[in-house]
């Protein structure tokens, strides 16, 4: 019996291309599955092969349509459980609802916790994810959670640019730790933008830039870009403070609402993202570069399957060049 004979990977409809790349990295076929909606919008799943006692991984980002992607994952997990899968790992490259991780207003939900409970109740035994919006979401699960990060992938891309005077800028105080780690990877100084959010309407008010970006090649770094309001305002502020060139990078390119239009007319020269979320054609701007997380996920899945250290996945996957996919 081969090492991966009982390793099976399935995917829903959220990001099948990423799942195919992960399978290509491991050199196994993608599992056969049907996932579709009836005319009444009910989701139906049929597993097309035996999974009895197999180590099964389901790759499904919570990308648009978000609620449908979540329901697909839950139903797939339920189908696998009822088909006697040995262990089920939910691979969630992008964990939607991550921003709703605490009660910061009266009478509001903690939806990130609710989703964690749903995944556990559905029958998942483990979760593998990338760059959660808030680290405490790991604690919302009563099953093991492996959170990987795409920062080394993004950092390597900028290292290869050999920028002469890079400065990493955090677009808000909440992203400071992530930006500091990214700056350490590049051996670059750090600057921080202090901002205040106005209610729940995705509008922000920039207050201050802490640090020096004059004549610098600025790299704005965040975990996700949603409507692109914060990142484009941050870029304009850096430009006003004398930045020479402005780049931006994030793991999850949500790019909802007016994001593409804002980015197109912003002073950001290049936006570097990963393929945790697929970009439809209308969101593909010339200034957007997409790097693949498939080697990172593939290496992590192999290590979970064989019982090896997942924390060493970065080192093993780094032997291959992180591919650009767009």
Helix or strand holding residue 295 (H, E): helix 294-306
Query: Is 37 a catalytic site residue?
Result: no
Query: Are the CB atoms for 219 and 249 separated by under 8 Å?
Result: yes
C-alpha span between 129 and 148 (Å, rounded):
6
CB-CB contact of 179 with 232 (8 Å):
no
Task: Give me the residue label for tokens 């790992």.
Answer: 89
Helix (H) or strand (E) holding 247: strand 245-253
Nearest alpha-carbon partner for 130 in 43, 203, 212, 223 = 223
DSSP state of 266: S
Please provide the DSSP assignment of 140-166 as one string.
Answer: G-SS-EEEE-SHHHHHHHHHHHT-SSE
Pairwise CA distance, residues 289 & 234, whole Å: 20
Reading the block at residue 28, the tokens are 């196994």
**Rounded Cα distance, 28 and 121, in Å:** 29
Contacts for 124 with CB less than 8 Å, ≥ 6 apart:
77, 88, 89, 90, 143
DSSP string of 37-61? E-TTS-EEEEE-S--BT-EEEEE--
Write down the catalytic residue from 177, 195, 283, 287.
Answer: 195
- Active-site annotation, residues: 195
């Amino acid at each position: 019996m081969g090492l991966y004979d009982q390793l099976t990977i399935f995917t829903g409809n959220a990001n099948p291309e990423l799942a195919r790349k992960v399978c290509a990295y491991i050199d196994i076929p993608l599992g056969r599955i049907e996932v579709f909606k009836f005319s009444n919008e009910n989701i139906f799943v049929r597993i097309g092969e035996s999974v009895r006692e197999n180590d099964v991984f389901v790759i499904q980002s919570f990308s648009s349509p978000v609620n449908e992607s979540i329901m697909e994952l839950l139903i797939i997990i339920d189908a696998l459980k009822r088909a006697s899968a040995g262990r089920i790992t939910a691979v969630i490259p992008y964990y939607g609802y991550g921003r709703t991780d605490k009660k910061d207003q009266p009478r509001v939900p903690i939806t990130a916790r609710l989703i964690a409970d749903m995944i556990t109740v559905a029958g998942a035994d483990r979760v593998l994810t990338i760059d959660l919006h808030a680290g405490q979401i790991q604690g919302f699960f009563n099953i093991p959670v492996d959170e990987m990060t795409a920062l080394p992938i993004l950092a390597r891309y900028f290292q290869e640019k050999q920028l002469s005077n890079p400065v990493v800028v955090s677009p808000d105080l909440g992203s400071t730790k992530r930006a500091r780690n990214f700056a350490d990877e590049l051996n670059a100084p750090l600057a921080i933008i202090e901002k205040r959010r106005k209610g729940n309407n995705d509008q922000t008010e920039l207050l201050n830039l802490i640090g020096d970006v004059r004549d610098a090649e600025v790299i704005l770094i965040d975990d996700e870009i949603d409507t692109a309001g914060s990142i484009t305002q941050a870029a304009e502020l850096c430009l006003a403070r004398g930045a020479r060139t402005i780049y931006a990078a994030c793991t999850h390119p949500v790019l909802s609402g007016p994001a593409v239009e804002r980015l197109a007319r912003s002073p950001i020269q290049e936006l570097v993202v990963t393929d945790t979320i697929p970009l439809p054609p209308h969101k593909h701007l010339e200034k957007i570069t997409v790097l693949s997380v498939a080697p990172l996920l593939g290496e992590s899945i192999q290590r979970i399957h064989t019982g090896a250290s997942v924390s060493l996945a970065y080192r093993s996957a780094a032997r291959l060049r992180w591919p650009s996919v767009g």
